[in-house]
Structure 1
Amino acid sequence: MSTNVDTESCMEKGMDKGVKNNVAKSVAIVGLGWLGEPLALALLSQGYMVSGSTTSADKAERLANAGINTMVWNINEPLPAVWPAALAANTVVLCVPPGKVENYATALGEVARLAARGGVQRLLFTSATSVYGGLGLKTEDDANPDSERGERMLAAEQAVQSCGVPEVLCLRLSGLVGGNREPGRFLAGRSFEGGDEPINLVAQQDLLRFIPAILAKPCWPSTLNVSAPHHPSRRDFYCQAALLRNLPPPEFSGGGQGKSIDGSALSGWLGLSYQVTDWFAWLDERNAKTAQS
């Protein structure tokens, strides 16, 4: 799968479907969780009409009070016959992690096809870089999973890409940090192999810059990676993250080459650089903010 785009033909399709120049600035986010909720609030502040779904009635009420039209929807349950009116929008962001859904690829494909039948014109699926197996540098064309999780994620991408929505982008996210996801706790006090393997991470703050910029673009590629350009070793990063939180550092045995995810195509396409370019500086800044609060 390539990030290259036939801009002229895509612009023509966008004009036919009412996408060009941000026509119909309406977004529905299926999955108002760690990423979906702050994304909804960010888009609301930028003038979008925002709706979304959650499995929690309390959260639905809280977000409705914040101006986000929120419905309770568990996609593990039988789907409705038609796309929910509460989620009527030009663009849908599918932001549901695999751990929350049974038969992940099948379920997401059914939701995406329902969206297509409901008139959705653009769909952004938050996939993951687990679709890449092997060693070395990985770009968008290198999807070849070597794990059950990666195979499941690639199957979900294929199901979503074939759903019938005119434009679909699978945004392959590296490991997620920031917000309440504290990397110092991820591996603290445990033992692992592969201490020399590079980390592949993206901070919430960068996702909340990149995704609105993607939604504003008139023409999407089919896949893009999101991974900060700094790839220190797992040993160096997670030991430092734990120590800054006064937690026992993990112990690593062995080296390991691992893989590095190239996230440069995204920033080049958007003309928008990553804010986090040094993970140790990010850890220090996060630790300082926590100490002040």
Structure 2
Amino acid sequence: MLGSGWLGLALAKHFTSHNYTIKVSTRQGEKQQKLIAQGFDCYLVDTETQTSISDFLSADTLIVNITNKNLAAYQYLIESIEQSPIQHVLFVSSSSVYQNINDWVTEDNKLEDENSILFQIENAFKASSGFKTSVIRFSGLIGPNRHPGRFFRGGKQVKQGDTPVNLIHLADCIGIINSIIEQDAWGQTFNGCADTHPIKRDFYPFASQQLGYPVPEFIEEESLHYKIVNNAKVKQVLNYRFIYPDLMQIPQEAYE
């Protein structure tokens, strides 16, 4: 598990509870000690320093879940993986790789932004013949300690109020990743997003009121720029059933 942030740590806890042998990484020595104290086999890994990570990469499957956008660092990581026992890589990406076409985007309709560094990193992993890569493109992440009602606190104004949101709950992120690994769904690209896409003007006031916060203000704009992320493939290929398919029906306790 390369990366132990909000999603990475939740994944580590999930797989540990399902009797997988897990290694996690962090770039911070203090955090490493905390994770070791919590019982995790935690390694100090910084891909930008390009130091040896062979001990960390002694595994069957690697989940890459870091925010680094340094292409050279990823090239070094890929070379390191090719020299390791790892057979499968799951790269956690983002639906931000798609262009804003004011319509639906799927994994197969070739609407990625060719200039996106993230898209270039995806392709670098896929191009390796040393291991098989699957890519999961998550939309905006919500869940415990990430309630969307807090996104626009303190007078922050909302742009593009009449555009649809693309969001996914942490529980479904974990569920989709678990399905990919358990079903050996390698060599694939998947979108991870809830079924529903309410417009911001409806969703964020609803989310704010759920917490008792003031309704955010919206900036009126004539020109709209958006995409609607289609999630049909994870349901068809993985037979995945969403825990929280409807963003307007997620109970408050799901954010606790």
| Larger CA deviation: 225-234 vs 164-173 | 164-173
The Cα of 1:52 is off from its aligned counterpart by 1.4
2:98 matches 1:126 = no
Check 1:194–1:96 CA distance in 2 against 1; reply closer, same or farther (3 A cut): same
Q: Which amino acid aligns with 1:191?
A: Q
- TM-score, with normalisation over the residues of structure 2? 0.90
- The secondary structure found in structure 2 opposite 1:192 is coil
- TM-score, with normalisation over the residues of structure 1? 0.79
The Cα of 1:257 is off from its aligned counterpart by 6.4
Deviations 1:206-253 (A, max 9, x none): 111121121111342421110111110011111221222233332221
2:84 matches 1:95 = no
- Structure 1: 4+ residue segments shifted above 6 A: none
Distance 1:58 1:193 in 2: 38
Aligned equivalent of 1:74:
46
2:56 matches 1:86 = yes
Distance 2:8 2:130 in 1: 20
Aligned equivalent of 1:23:
none
From 144, 150, 175, the counterpart of 1:209? 175
The Cα of 1:287 is off from its aligned counterpart by 5.7
Distance 2:186 2:103 in 1: 27
Q: Determine if contact 2:104/2:228 at 8 Å carries over to the other structure.
A: yes
From 120, 137, 143, the counterpart of 1:172? 137
Distance 1:289 1:183 in 2: 9
Q: Determine if contact 1:224/1:266 at 8 Å carries over to the other structure.
A: yes
1:162-241 aligned within 5 A? 162-188=127-153, 189-241=155-207
Structure 2 unaligned residues grouped into runs of 5+:
none
Q: Determine if contact 1:127/1:170 at 8 Å carries over to the other structure.
A: yes
Distance 1:250 1:123 in 2: 40
Distance 2:9 2:17 in 1: 13
Distance 1:35 1:93 in 2: 11
Check 1:147–1:136 CA distance in 2 against 1; reply closer, same or farther (3 A cut): same
Tell me how many residue pairs correspond in the alignment: 252
From 213, 226, 238, the counterpart of 1:258? 226
Deviations 1:10-60 (A, max 9, x none): xxxxxxxxxxxxxxxxxxx00011111110111111111100101222332
The root-mean-square deviation of aligned C-alpha atoms, in Å, is: 2.1
Q: Which amino acid aligns with 1:104?
A: N
Q: Determine if contact 2:25/2:42 at 8 Å carries over to the other structure.
A: yes
Structure 1 unaligned residues grouped into runs of 5+:
1-28
Distance 2:215 2:87 in 1: 47
Q: Which amino acid aligns with 1:177?
A: I
Distance 1:288 1:158 in 2: 34
Aligned equivalent of 2:117:
152
Provide the identity percentage. 28
Q: Determine if contact 1:31/1:94 at 8 Å carries over to the other structure.
A: yes
Check 1:163–1:110 CA distance in 2 against 1; reply closer, same or farther (3 A cut): farther
Structure with more helix by fraction? 1
From 43, 46, 59, the counterpart of 2:31? 59
Check 1:190–1:122 CA distance in 2 against 1; reply closer, same or farther (3 A cut): same
- The secondary structure found in structure 2 opposite 1:225 is strand
Q: Which amino acid aligns with 1:124?
A: L
Q: Determine if contact 1:69/1:86 at 8 Å carries over to the other structure.
A: no
Aligned equivalent of 2:8:
36
The Cα of 1:288 is off from its aligned counterpart by 8.4
